[in-house]
Structure 1
Amino acid sequence: MTRANGPLLAVCSRVVALAALLALVGALPWLSGRDPARSILRAQYGESIPDPVALAAIREKLRLDDGPLVLLGRWLTGLLRGDLGASWVTGAPVAPAVWSALGVSLALMGAALAVALVVATLLVLRGLWRGHTTRGGGALGAALTSIPEFLLGTALLLVMAVWLDWAEPYGWSGPQHVALPALALGIPAGGLLGRLADDAIPGAFRESWVRTWTSGGLPRRSIAYGVLRRSLPALFPQFTIVVVGLTGGAVAIEQLFAIPGLGRLALGAAAAQDLPVVQGAVLALAALAVVAGILATTAQRLAVGPALDAAGLQPPPPDPGPRGRRVWLVPGVLGGLLLAVVLAGMLRDPTQVDIGLRLDSPSWDAALGRDALGRDLLARLGHGALRTVGVAVVVSAVAFALGVAAGLLPRLTQGTAELANAVPPVLVGLITAAAFGPSTGGAAVAVAATAWAPLALHVAALVREELASGYVQACWLLGASRARVLVVHVLPGVLPPVLRHAMLRLPGVALAIASLGFVGLGTQPPTPEWGRVLAEAMPYVERAPWAALTAAAALALLGAVSVTASTALGAARAHRR
């Protein structure tokens, strides 16, 4: 394979990935192996024993006997005309419902993005104006980033709407309903942007041109603007991650606050097996994520100019942070606390029901209280760790293997990796739930289908660096085969950093699995799982807030361990350099 064929192969990879996504969504009615006519009849009339005459009428009306390939082609042709088909439940056209829900989701994401920009600005404003060469708001940004959107939304709903009665809890009928969902989505996103900017800005202030500008007597405002312009363009790719996170987080937030957006529309349709509506909503959500990535890339090129973009703009060197082993103190303490709670819960029975003790407050017999069926919440928290963290370990291992294999063939897998990186796990979860029903396995597949992509992109970047090194070039000149160079010389330098990357992503994978359980796409009752435990507690949040706080605290601790461990490892690597 010649180097000249590389760009063409990358373009083909993107086209194939997009075509595969369309084919996957279009084939949803046949993926489960069930008869689409039976699904339609069940969705419309709820009949468990279908009438053969009614089934024949449905097949004739929709021409289902033409076969999956013909119907897939018909669906794609309709898609080009803007026709998304008709709902299996109501018979109404899908497109108007999708466009209406899309407008609601865009409004919610726009408000959340405004909140994120405000939060990020507040985190970096003080250090930017005073010219700090060390981090300012990075710790606070890390704390905000560690909170999942659905978890923060639960806390805001509990405190602001239930306890203080300062905001409307549910619905979407006016501006008063925007505040809490926008805060729940925007605060973690703003924390991530602020943390990334806070890492880059001190490095920019330490560069030699800043000292030159300062010696020349330029005003502080001009220097701050120059540092900001130097720091932000390299962060535009991360902006894509933020918007993708908003797309995925909006599904849970819309469900939590009863907002009639795309996410809630897709979840309701998946539960009712109304697959045409699921198809339209999933395509709209995927298009949002992909368009956001394109806009972020375009904005980066406009900001840095064609010359710097072609050369590859490098971010400023980050502040290495504190030295020594104390950087591991916080993640170690938080992880130890979480492990102690899990082990204590593992010694108790999570399935024993006692209606007489339903929603009991914490006591000596049940340290964290009881749920709506009188089950011990400490026990459900401990055993739920197997379905949350345990499944996350398996998913992370699979994602690591897939990421390494795909990263070694970047031109063939680039398009698929970019698409998977731009699609939140909840979209794949909607597809698996619509095809096979919600389950732990479906949630694991959904998260694994996207978790490998960042690792593959990381592997591809490291492989390019290793192949450009002097000793690898010498191996080529000595006639070594490509397979030998990759296995003997490249992989030993690539695998350790990618393995660390995969381990640091483990808590994030667990949170993604919990989020799918929270919205009903993962583990089903009565099996305990942290996201599911939190969802079961939400209807009783006014009467028994401790039931929601139990799982919420565990998820918050898990997120805090993830962010603090990442910060500690980043500081250790910076000092080794």
Structure 2
Amino acid sequence: MTLLRGTLTRALVLLTVLTAIGLLPWLADRDPALTVLRARYPGREATDSALDAIRTELGLDAGPLAILRDWLLGLTRGDFGASWTSGAPVADTVLPALGTSLTVMAAALAVTFAVTTAACAPALHRAAQGRPVGTGGVAVASFAALPDFLIATLGVAVFATWTGLLPAYGFNGPANLVLPALAMGLPGGGVLARLGRDAIGRIAAEDWVRQWRTAGYPKARIARGLLRRALPPVLPQFAIIAVSITGAAVAVETIFAVPGLGRAALAAADAQDLPVLQACMALLIAFGFTAGLLARLAARALDGPATAIPAAPPATGGRRRHLAWITVGAAPLLLAVAYGLIRSGDIATGSRLDAPSAAAWLGTDELGRDVLARLGQGALWTAGAAFLACVLAYLLALGLGFTPRLAHPLAEAFNSFPVAIAGMIVVVVLGRGQFGAVLAVVAVSWPPLAAHAAELVAQARTAGHLEARLALGAGPWWILRRHTLPLVTGPLAAHAGLRLPGMALGIASLGFLGLGAEADAPEWGASLARSLPYLERAPLAALAPAAAMIALTLAVMAAVSLPKRRPRLRRPPVPVPVPVPAERYPQARDQATKAQLT
């Protein structure tokens, strides 16, 4: 029943999103007729009669319901319409791109599986021997948090530009698959590795594992039992990984010039070629939805309904190493922000793409501006937008938390949509801008917060002392203000704060794709995209924002996984014998007298 309800909810949300995609020609910020006129007839004047003729030709004058009906009916027949810019059938563009994207995604899933296996195999071995299992440390957590476009940029810089070991662009053979697959698969591998090790560590503490070891079962048999118990809660997370790979296709295929759906969708969004954009987004979303459904069915077949993964017991010790990672990540960022504020009015040196010097410590960019000063100012742009997105997602999740029957299925269903697709929809409807990027990040960031809020509200409503409050005459508003909200707002705010760096990286990814801040803004993603063509001549201009995002990731991941302080074991006090007064106890008096005589 739970699986059926979850599937129906996902299908309903999928239909809602497809409805929004089908209405894009009617919701678009720019007039589609003007876009088609400029694409097909560059020298023609945009008169009212010319625009009306194009609207009639495209069927845009029939109203939103007719537009949606025609698109959905064409989608069921496999007819995606014709391109607005070229007039060619959309299927001729998207179907070859679909094959390319599926090839790259399959290679990325293979990388994800390899990383997960390499991280979880030692954990299974340790658990079968009865030894403690850790979470994998900061390295595994950093893999999970680094964005795909950043890994792709570093791959281009190291393996293509500097060493020449791998090709950077094109799709001509297996060698072209390596860097895109690594960029798309490593973050998912980090996530599954962390979740898998947590699940193995939790299950290794169950009684049956100790009983099997005591009974002399082979370690391989115990490892197989641990794996079977750990897979059901981890498999549903595979759906989220598939969605992240779907969203990563937009950035990675653009960076490596792979002719797939992601690159075609971004090009269509830039050209406002909405039929191509609609077809690409529908196919990408269908891939994520199908992967999620298959993962849920596999988890159900293994061991009943999948449950959430409780966090493994927190590790102790190693605080100095984690604090060192926090310092390494946070200190340079704070210094860059201070430097950027000091040089806010004096960042133009007049010399383009210079090497580091006393006037510009990290050199200059393509317009002759101080890279370090722009980096500090970009931190404020990125962090400010992420803070606004965090506040909006927090308020939305707090409101949905009081309706758990709606919050849980919606949160699970909306996990099937990556931030890149949300960004393209927002750009078409509202146009480019930092606020549009904030809305796109909020649209994909509220689900885990809403699910957590629903759990906190359920715990607050089942508290034992609540019945006593009601018996004493406490009203519902008093219970809400003085009991429920204090138990929900604090933990939910802490959870939202932990997701703030991820939102900052989401803002940067949209800026990198041209779906967020303006191209000339100091925002980190936009700065990275603007400096990437000059990687060989001025590498620091591109690597500085990349290093800033890595430092932010390391600092936050080290802070999140900071082990608890070991409790100090105090030595018990040595008991001091208390002399017994001889006058109070006759026996003691007699013993004392005998001792004196001897």
Structure 2-normalised TM-score?
0.87
User: What's 2:453 paired with?
Assistant: 459
Of 506-515 and 279-288, deviating more is 279-288
Contact 1:504 1:565 (C-alpha < 8 Å) held by counterparts: no
Structure 1 residue identity aligned to 2:69: G
User: SS of the residue aligned with 1:295?
Assistant: helix
**Does the 8 A contact of 1:439 with 1:524 survive in 2?**
yes
Matches within 5 A, 1:164-563: 164-305=163-304, 309=305, 313=307, 315=309, 318-323=312-317, 326=320, 327-328=322-323, 330-349=325-344, 353-354=348-349, 357-472=351-466, 485-563=479-557
Answer whether contact 2:347 2:374 (CA < 8 A) is retained. Answer: no
Corresponding residue number in structure 2 for 1:18 = 14
RMSD, matched Cα? 2.8
Matched residue of 2:253: which SS?
helix
Q: Could you say what secondary structure the match of 1:232 adopts?
A: helix
Equivalent residue number for residue 110 of structure 1: 106
**Matched residues in 1 for 2:313 and 2:490: separation?**
23
Question: AA paired with 1:112?
Answer: A
The one-letter code of the counterpart of 2:148 is: E
Q: CA deviation at 1:112?
A: 0.8
Counterpart-to-counterpart distance in 1, 2:360 and 2:532: 19
User: 2:27 aligns to what?
Assistant: 31
Residue identity in the other structure for 2:539: P
How far off its partner does 1:334 sit?
2.1
Change in CA separation of 1:123 and 1:7 when aligned onto 2, cut-off 3 Å = closer
Amino acid of the residue matched to residue 145 of structure 2?
S
Q: Name the CA distance, whole Å, in 2 between partners of 1:526 and 1:244.
A: 30
CA contact (8 A) 1:75 1:84 kept: yes
Are the counterparts in 1 of residues 25 and 274 from structure 2 also a CA contact under 8 Å?
A: yes
Task: From 70, 89, 93, give the equivalent of 1:93.
Answer: 89
Give the direction of change, closer, same or farther, for the CA distance of 1:360–1:71 in structure 2 (3 Å limit): same
| Partner amino acid, structure 1, of 2:17 | L
Question: Structure 1: how far apart are the matches of 2:224 and 2:299?
Answer: 17
Worse-superposed segment, 480-489 or 180-189: 480-489
Q: Which residue of 1 aligns with 2:588?
A: none
Displacement of 1:380 in angstroms is: 1.0
Q: Tell me, yes or no, if the aligned pair for 1:14 and 1:414 is still in contact at 8 Å.
A: no
Residue 551 of structure 1 deviates from its aligned partner by 0.7
| Mapped contact 1:462–1:494 kept (Cα < 8 A) | yes
Partner of 2:165: helix, strand, or coil? coil
> Shift in Å at residue 186 of structure 1?
1.3
The C-alpha deviation readout for 1:425-460, integer Å capped at 9, x for no partner, is: 111101112233322121111111111121111111
Moved more, 406-415 or 478-487: 478-487
Identify which of 77, 83, 100 aligns with 1:81.
77
Q: Distance in 2 between matches of 1:270 and 1:157?
A: 25
Question: What amino acid is aligned across from residue 553 of structure 1 in structure 2?
Answer: A
Structure 1 residues 33, 342: closer, same or farther in 2, change over 3 A?
A: closer
Q: Displacement of 1:374 after TM fit?
A: 1.2
The DSSP-based 3-state class of the residue aligned with 2:115 is: helix
Alpha-carbon separation, structure 2, partners of 1:262 and 1:479:
61
Q: Aligned partner of 2:179: which letter?
A: L
Q: Is the 8 A contact 2:104 2:177 kept in 1?
A: yes
Q: Assess if the C-alpha contact under 8 Å between 1:10 and 1:411 holds in 2.
A: no
Deviation of 1:89 after TM superposition, in Å, equals 0.3
Deviation (angstroms), 1:389 = 0.8
Aligned pair in 2 of structure 1 residues 118, 471: CA closer, same or farther (>3 Å)? same
Q: Is the CA contact 2:397–2:447 (under 8 Å) kept in the aligned structure 1?
A: yes
Q: Are residues 215 and 283 of structure 1, via their aligned partners in 2, closer, same or farther at CA, if it must alter by over 3 Å?
A: same
- Gap change, CA 1:548 and 1:475, over 3 Å in 2: same
Which moved further from structure 2: 374-383 or 23-32? Answer: 23-32
* Shift of residue 189, structure 1, vs aligned partner: 1.6
- Contact 2:9/2:413, CA 8 A, preserved across alignment: no
Q: Could you tell me which of 121, 126, 130 is aligned with 1:125?
A: 121
TM-score, scaled relative to structure 1: 0.90
2:328–2:551: 8 Å Cα contact kept in structure 1? Answer: no
| CA distance in 2: counterparts of 1:573 and 1:463, whole angstroms | 30
Paired letter, 1:380: R
Offset at residue 342 of structure 1 (A): 1.6
Per the TM alignment, residue 518 of structure 1 is displaced from its structure 2 partner at its CA by 0.7
Unmatched tracts of structure 2, length 5 or more: 568-598
Counterparts of 1:412 and 1:9, CA distance in 2: 12
Contact in 2 for aligned 1:27/1:72 (Cα 8 Å): yes
The 2-side partners of 1:219 and 1:48 are apart by 79
Report the 3-state secondary structure (helix = DSSP H, G, I; strand = E; otherwise coil) of the residue aligned with 1:492.
helix
Deviation at 1:267, TM superposition (A): 0.6
Aligned to 2:574: none
Instruction: State the 1:145 CA deviation.
Output: 2.1
Q: Distance in 2 between matches of 1:12 and 1:146?
A: 31
Identity rate, percent: 45
CA–CA distance in 2 between the matches of 1:32 and 1:551?
A: 32
CA contact (8 A) 1:282 1:430 kept: no
Distance between the aligned counterparts of 2:436 and 2:310, measured in 1? Answer: 41
Query: Is residue 9–residue 411 contact of structure 1 (8 Å, CA) maintained in 2?
Result: no
Query: Structure 1: which 5+ runs fail to align?
Result: none
Once the two structures are superposed, residues 37-75 of structure 1 have per-residue CA deviations (whole angstroms, 9 ceiling, x without a partner) of 222212323458414443233223223322222222222
More helix by share: 1
The equivalences for 1:137-148 within 5 A come to 137-148=136-147
User: Is the Cα–Cα contact under 8 Å of residues 13 and 411 in structure 1 kept in the other structure?
Assistant: no
Aligned partners of 2:84 and 2:542: how far apart in 1? 35
Q: Quick one: distance in 1 between partners of 2:411 and 2:114?
A: 31
1:58 is aligned to 2:54:
yes
CA distance in 2, matches of 1:313, 1:146: 23
Say if 1:35 and 1:144 are closer, same or farther in 2 by CA, change over 3 A. Answer: closer
Quote the offset at 1:461 in angstroms. 2.3
Q: CA deviation at 1:166?
A: 1.0
> Within 1, Cα distance between the matches of 2:62 and 2:142?
55
The alpha carbon displacement at 1:169 in A equals: 0.8
In the TM superposition, what is the alpha-carbon distance from 1:558 to its structure 2 partner?
1.3
Q: In structure 1, what is the equivalent of residue 155 of structure 2? A: 156
Query: What amino acid is the match of 1:395?
Result: A
Q: Supply the distance in 2 between the matched residues of 1:479 and 1:360 (Cα, whole angstroms).
A: 73
Q: CA deviation at 1:206?
A: 2.6
Distance 2:13 2:271 in 1: 29
Q: Which letter does structure 2 place at the counterpart of 1:401?
A: L
Q: Matched residue of 1:470: which SS?
A: coil
Distance 1:99 1:213, change over 3 A: same
Deviates more, 1:451-460 or 1:136-145: 136-145
Amino acid at match of 2:55: R
Shift of 1:211: 1.5
Give the conservation status (yes or no) of the 8 Å contact 1:84–1:276.
yes
CA offset at residue 353 of structure 1? 4.5
Q: Which residue type is aligned with residue 399 of structure 2?
A: A
Aligned partner of 1:201: which letter?
I
1:346–1:383 Cα contact (<8 Å) kept:
yes
